[in-house]
Amino acid sequence: MRRISVALPICLLVLAGCSDDPGADGPDEEAAQELVGALAEGLAEAAASDVDAADTAVASVAYAGRSGRSAAPRYEEIVAGMDGIVPTIEVGEVEESEGTTTVGLTWEWPVVEPGAIWSYETAAEVVERDGDWEVVWAPTIVEPSLGADEVLQVTTIPAGRGDIYGADREVLVTERPVLRFGIDRVRVGRAEAGDSARALAQLVGVDVAPYVEAVRAAGDRAFVEAISFREAEVPPAVLAGYPQIPGAVALSDDIALAPTRDFAAPILGRVGPVTAEMVEADPDRYRAGDVAGVSGLQARYDEQLGGTPGRLVEAVSETEAEPARDLFRVAEADGEPLDLTLDRRLQTSAEELLAGVASGSALVAIRPSDGAILAAANGPGNGGLNLATYGQFPPGSTFKIVSSLALLRAGLTPDSTVSCPATVTVDGKAFGNYSDYPSSVTGDIPLRTAVAQSCNTAFIGARDELADGDLADAAASLGLGVDHDLGFPAFFGSVEPPATETEAAADLIGQGTILASPMAMAAVIASVQEGALVVPRLVEQIEVSDHDHTPLTGAEATQLREMLRGVVTGGSGSQLADVPGAPVIAKTGTAEFQGDDGVQTHAWMVAAQGDLAVAVFVEIGESGSRTAGPILEAFLRAA
């Protein structure tokens, strides 16, 4: 048997076969197989040819029709709708019946890769014509039931997309009605398509040049989406303007969406038309025009959420004389849901509190008892970036929680005396306290006071108490500086060995080599509140385990909570003292950086109350207590 793979769509070449004895009743078995084999080889040969070569070959070949007249076969039209699927053709047995010679063909189309094969058998008739044996062309060579005006067409059947659930199985993302605005190339010619694309892009507010390029590169029957709007949120100017643009259409659809456009958007991601890069990277899954997860969790878990699309092969009448007939179907399998720990109410509250912050900002809330991330909010000033779980910034004095643990392990207690001068110089670099540090708590003070008032010079002055690695070990005990795969982009912070004495001094106050995300700092104070390492988790199906670390002892946790309670009762976090509910522990922080307008300040504040730990970060602020503090206070009150 002969097996030929054919790339489609192609021009058909049917090659005439010569018998040694044209006057016989029919060709012998071997000759008939060779002749039909030549048919299959012709298909493959045409598939490998460029258009000019194929046209030249077609012009030189005679075709045998039922009437005996030369007739060009319709193979190219028949398979044009098969979406480039490559079948395999196997030449089978020769049969003689009532003077008719036929050769069997077995067709196999991988309609869905891998595994779903559409397989069937056809027969090619061989006849004598002008002294040569030729294959009689008929659509039934391609598919046994095809009528004279029918063609094959394969269609993708979308699968239902899985929902995304939050805490208590509340639906966060589900399919909601939208209008998809784009250019339908069927309705506008190639020459005018670019102008239409430019006009639509300007109307709906998308980048003009890339959209114009995409429309010009699209096929003559393509729909090229520019943007989707929720049905209730389409701007009136868009509704009024798009009908005036040749080829512009608005298609009703259902797309997986969160409750609002901004709800956890950088983390959840979005669903939209697949990109050319996605098609190229995974052609078995994605085809141009598909809708899939293109960013965030929607992209990372697209296979789970998106399920498996079905495929339908039909026989379609080109004259529409008969309804389409189903020939082969692969049923779609709906996607599976994704369960997250996000609390819809707390996430919404956090985003509302960040809505008025002009610079980058984030708020992360964690449940210490199990590490569940209840809110991971990103402010509008982030430019769509996920600073909440993946931001990388010096945490400033919030890192003194880690430094305090390291000093406790070095033998200090909350009542140990430390020196808090106005400035301290290390290798020629002067370090001072923040501008409005109270002068009444300088000089020799207890460590608990240094924590409560956030005295930089006291921590820097105590650096000789620590050995190499002590700071990193303390950080690891509180969840900072050790990576985990949480199933989403997460930065756990970095505590690199300092290269100089100046860096070592800066590290103790959360600058130097120290970096953290708001999520990491929320985990730090969550670990203190819980009295044990807390590793954050967001995706329920991802199992999160502890890392190697020196366990936090009960005494250490108690001492840290006492000192951080002092921040609230008599220190830089006093605005939290009257928050209703369980006692609040907290730490404020600022970190200087060189910005566009000179030296600027990151503002931080972390706090824990009951089974809730929160970190607030503002990229450009005045101070932790003045900038991040009011946001954190409002969140605790709302929670």
Task: Inform me whether the pLDDT recorded for 72 exceeds 80.
Answer: no
Q: Which CATH architecture has domain 164-339?
A: Alpha-Beta Complex (3.90)
Q: Mean pLDDT, to the nearest integer, of 333-344?
A: 97
Would you state the pLDDT for residue 33? 66
Distances (CA, A) of 247 to 161, 226, 228, 289: 29, 12, 17, 17
Q: Name the token pair of 595.
A: 């910005």
> Which of these CATH numbers, 3.40.1180.10, 3.40.710.10, 3.20.20.190, 1.10.101.10, describes 344-586+624-638?
3.40.710.10
Q: Mean pLDDT, to the nearest integer, of 251-267?
A: 93
Question: Which of 91-100, 231-240, 535-544 is predicted least confidently?
Answer: 91-100
DSSP state of 301: T
54-69 pLDDT, tens digit each: 333 333 333 444 433 3
Task: Inform me whether the pLDDT recorded for 7 exceeds 70.
Answer: no
**pLDDT over 70 percentage in the chain:** 87
Type and span of the H or E element at 489: none
Q: From 475, 491, 587, select the one nearest 536 (Cα to Cα).
A: 491
DSSP state of 293: E
Q: Name the token pair of 598.
A: 């000179």
Q: pLDDT band at 594, cuts 50/70/90?
A: confident
Average pLDDT over the chain, rounded to an integer: 87
Task: Inform me whether the pLDDT recorded for 580 exceeds 90.
Answer: yes
Question: Which of 38-47, 213-222, 268-277 is predicted least confidently?
Answer: 38-47
Query: Structure pTM?
Result: 0.81
Angle at 33 between CA 28 and CA 36, to 5 degrees: 125
106-125 pLDDT, tens digit each: 899 998 876 789 999 998 88
Q: Mean pLDDT, to the nearest integer, of 385-391?
A: 97
Would you state the pLDDT for residue 637? 97
Task: Inform me whether the pLDDT recorded for 73 exceeds 70.
Answer: no
**What are the domain boundaries of the chain?**
2-148, 164-339, 344-586+624-638
627-636 pLDDT, tens digit each: 999 999 999 9
Would you state the pLDDT for residue 512? 93
449-498 pLDDT, tens digit each: 999 999 999 999 999 999 999 999 999 999 999 999 999 999 999 999 99
Q: Name the token pair of 566.
A: 């002092």
- Note if the bond before 9 is cis, omega within 30 degrees: yes
Distances (CA, A) of 26 to 18, 20, 29: 11, 11, 9
**Spatial strand order in the sheet of 100-112:** 2-5, 88-97, 100-112, 116-129, 132-135
Query: Treating both helix axes as pointing N-terminal to C-terminal, what angle do 554-570 and 400-409 enclose, rounded to 10 degrees?
Result: 140
Q: pLDDT band at 129, cuts 50/70/90?
A: low
Greater confidence (398 vs 322) lies with 398
Would you state the pLDDT for residue 27? 53
